[in-house]
Amino acid sequence: MDKPFPAIQHPNANNRGADWYVDKLMQALVFIGGISAIIFIVGIFVFITKEGLGFITDRFDFMEFFTTEYWFPSDEDDPEFGILALIAGTASVTGLAMIVAIPFALGAAIYIGEFATGKKREYLKVLVELLAAIPSVVWGFIGLSIMNPLIIKTFDVPVGLNVLNAGVILGLMAAPIMASIAEDALKAVPDSYREAAEAMGATRWQVITRVVLPAARNGLLGAVLLGVGRGFGETMAVLMATGHSVNIPGSIFDSVRALTATIAAELGETAVGSEHYGALFTIGIFLFIITFLINLTADLIVKGIKKG
Amino acid sequence: MSSQPVKIEVKDLSIHYGNTPALEEVSLEVREHEIFGIIGPANAGKTSFLKAINRMDVFTTGMNVAGDIRFGDIDVHKADNIYALRKRIGVVFPLPVGLPMTIYDNVALAPRLSGITNKGDLDVIVERCLSRAALWDEVGDRLNSLGSLLSGGQQQRLTIARALSQNPEVLMLDEFSIAVDPVTTMRIEDVLKELKSEMTIILVTNLVQQARRLADRTAFFLEGRCVEIGDTEAMFNGEVQHQKTLDYIEGKFG
């Protein structure tokens, strides 16, 4: 004899039970979580704009700010606010970092995603993610204490804190997170694509270059742009490894100074509300807009590819 | 039909996944210009059989293949260049796979991998293969749209066109009609009947009637064994050696 079907109490359809209230409460909570991202973004933008506004209205000169390379914000008689050299510093370091990071990251992602199997793959993934979690000050320290003497000795140059040092350090820093995202992108390519290509007689490498990489290009582009964003925003490692001297680099052995490092190094020494203080926040606004544009571009490209 | 030379000769083929057997001591011959049907319920070893023939076992971890497969003058499991082997065997999988590139590039991919770069040659291949797969009339005017955006039935015909694009000697189809509407299925079946004059076809199907419509000879696989092989018409007329075969084709289990 079968056991009887256990009794189930159905709630009264005319009354809102506890479940209904829990449902509404949880919806409200996750709504707050979701909307807070917008609130924080707007809040940060309002804050840095407010702090930089005094400088922008009273002292800011577009041509001086973006096209001159003289950054003497604390000169008592004739302060100058040109960030061209700082932009050049950030751009050169980020550019070199991407040249270093992209091959490393793509190579790692392709090896982990397409060739490594079983335990090897698991260990490598964990290691790469561990690398991504190393604090930037540690990378800066490596730049100062290992890369610096190494560059001086190897290339016979007077200073080892320069574009090369910071670019390599930043590249190594950005590579793991780029590799991780790129590997996710490769993993998102269905195995049926690989099987189809393999069944046609394509070699492993042909499958990767002709089918997998093109199919994953959105995610790979996202990974690269994330690395660029990381390069623009990174502060501590570039502060320690660039040499921190205002200079438009003529070669990779010149010391430079980055936009972010300038804010970090000088903000503590400026009087709140002073011109110098406002100028640093204006750099902040500039960084914010650049980052926003990078992300927006990435978004539009990805969407454009999807539609096409 | 029996006068045709042997195209693929399989002897004592056994396949294991780890310790689990998938196919045990299957021996059979596939002849040139025939449609060789393989029927049988799930887990009969039909797909594993196909994988062994074009060496897709290499990338399936734990898949062990024992026995002999001869494809023309090639000992399949001792072949040094499995890529060259696969180029001579076209495969169509159960679920349509339109690669995320244009329709043209889908069909031109394999020829390009074989080193054909001449645009005129590629154009000929693309048009010929799409026509033979009964897809040209529908997509001939939009070869630059994405292959992965076609409907399921169109994608399956695109897959067939792709499989034909390197002029294979053998075409293997694995339950091609699973995700295809009946009308498209009938169109593909007509295509296969025509292709028979140019190549050898191995048709794995879960539809008994499809085997009856298409196959010259049919093998019945059950639980990893090849129960029997026979002339399709005779088999469906009840001339079978095993009661199980009759039960299966009459739909008593499956």
Q: Is B99 close to A211, i.e. CB distance below 8 A? A: yes
Shortest distance, CA A240 to any CA of chain B (angstroms): 45
Closest-CA distance, A275 to chain B, in angstroms, reads 55
Query: B97 and chain A: CB distance < 8 Å anywhere?
Result: yes
Higher pLDDT, B91 or A13: B91
Cα B100–B106–B112 angle (5° rounding)? 125
Assess contact for A285 and A292: CB atoms under 8 A. no
Looking at residue B171, its amino acid is: L
A208 close to B (CB below 8 A): no
DSSP codes of every residue in A189-234: S-HHHHHHHHHTT--HHHIIIIIIHHHTHHHHHHHHHHHHHHHHH-
Domain B1-87+215-254 architecture: 3-Layer(aba) Sandwich (3.40)
Q: Does B155 touch chain A (CB under 8 A)?
A: no
| Chain A positions in Cβ-Cβ contact with residue B101 (cut-off 8 Å) | 214
Q: How far is B239 from chain A (nearest CA, A)?
A: 36
Determine the residue of chain A that is closest to B99 in CA distance.
A193
- Chain A residues whose CB is inside 8 A of the B163 CB are 199-200
Hey, are the CB atoms on A200 and B86 less than 8 Å from each other?
yes
CA angle A109, A112, A114 (to 5 degrees): 90
- How far, in Å, CA of B29 to CA of A194, rounded? 29
Of the candidates A117, A198, A215, the beta carbon closest to that of B56 is on A198
Q: Letter for the amino acid at A59?
A: R
| ipTM for the complex shown | 0.87
Q: pLDDT, tens digit, for every residue of A48-78?
A: 999 999 899 988 889 999 999 999 998 888 8
Nearest chain B residue to A192 by CA: give it: B97
Cβ pair A303, A222 in contact under 8 A? no
Q: Is B166 at the interface with chain A, CB within 8 A?
A: yes
pLDDT in tens, chain B (254 residues): 456 899 999 999 999 998 899 999 999 999 999 999 999 998 899 999 999 998 988 777 788 999 999 998 889 988 889 999 999 999 999 999 999 999 999 999 999 999 999 999 999 999 999 999 999 999 999 999 998 889 988 999 999 999 999 899 999 999 999 888 999 899 999 999 999 999 999 999 989 999 999 999 999 999 999 999 999 999 999 898 999 999 999 888 86
* Confidence at residue B1, expressed as pLDDT on a 0 to 100 scale: 47
Q: Nearest CA to B114 among B162, B61, B49, B62?
A: B162
Distance CA A166, CA A242 (A): 5
If one counts every other C-beta atom within 10 angstroms of the C-beta of residue A236, the result is: 17
Using a CB-CB distance cutoff of 8 angstroms, which residues of chain B are in contact with residue A218? none
B91 interaction partners in chain A (CB closer than 8 Å):
199
Domain range list for chain A = 18-58, 87-307
Q: How would residue A109 be classed by pLDDT, with cut points 50, 70 and 90?
A: very high
CA-nearest of B241, B229, B206 to B39 is: B206
The ranges assigned to domains in chain B are: 1-87+215-254
Chain B contact for A289 (CB, 8 A cutoff): no
pLDDT at A298: 76
> Of residues A306 and A84, which shows the higher confidence score?
A84
Q: Cα(B98)–Cα(B105) distance, rounded to whole angstroms?
A: 11
Interface residue B59 vs chain A (CB under 8 A) = yes
pLDDT in tens, A231-245: 888 999 999 999 999
The answer to whether the CB atoms of A196 and B93 lie below 8 A apart is: yes
B53: its two tokens: 């023939």
Q: What is the pLDDT of residues A256-288, one digit of tens each?
A: 999 999 999 999 999 998 999 999 999 999 999
- A105: three-class secondary structure by DSSP: helix
A69-82 as b/e: b if 16+ CB within 10 A? ebbebeeeeebebb
Q: Return d(Cα A165, Cα A170) in angstroms, integer.
A: 8
Task: Please report which helix (H) or strand (E) contains residue A80, including its range.
Answer: strand A80-81
Owner of token pair 């730049």: A143
The answer to whether A170 and A98 have CB atoms below 8 angstroms apart is no
The per-residue pLDDT for range A166-180, each reduced to its tens digit, is 999 999 999 999 999
Q: What is the DSSP letter of A243?
A: B
Calpha distance A228→A98 (Å, rounded): 7
Long-range contacts from A111-117, C-beta under 8 angstroms, 24+ separation:
A112/A179, A112/A183, A113/A182, A113/A183, A113/A186, A113/A187, A114/A186, A114/A204, A114/A208, A114/A212, A115/A204, A117/B61
Q: How many Cβ atoms from other residues are within 10 Å of residue A130's Cβ?
A: 10
Q: Are the Cβ atoms of A196 and B87 closer than 8 angstroms?
A: no
Query: How many interchain CB pairs under 8 A, A with B?
Result: 64
Q: What pLDDT is recorded for position A308?
A: 43
Q: Is B33 left (phi over 0), alpha (psi -120 to 50) or beta?
A: left
B48, containing H or E segment: helix B46-53
CA-to-CA distance for B154 and B180, rounded, in angstroms?
A: 9
Residues pairing with A256 in the sheet: A243
Nearest by Cα to A84 from A61, A100, A56: A61
Give me the residues of A, 211-230, that contact B with CB < 8 A.
211, 214-215
Q: In this structure, which topology does domain A87-307 adopt according to CATH?
A: MetI-like fold (1.10.3720)
B178 touching chain A per CB within 8 A: no
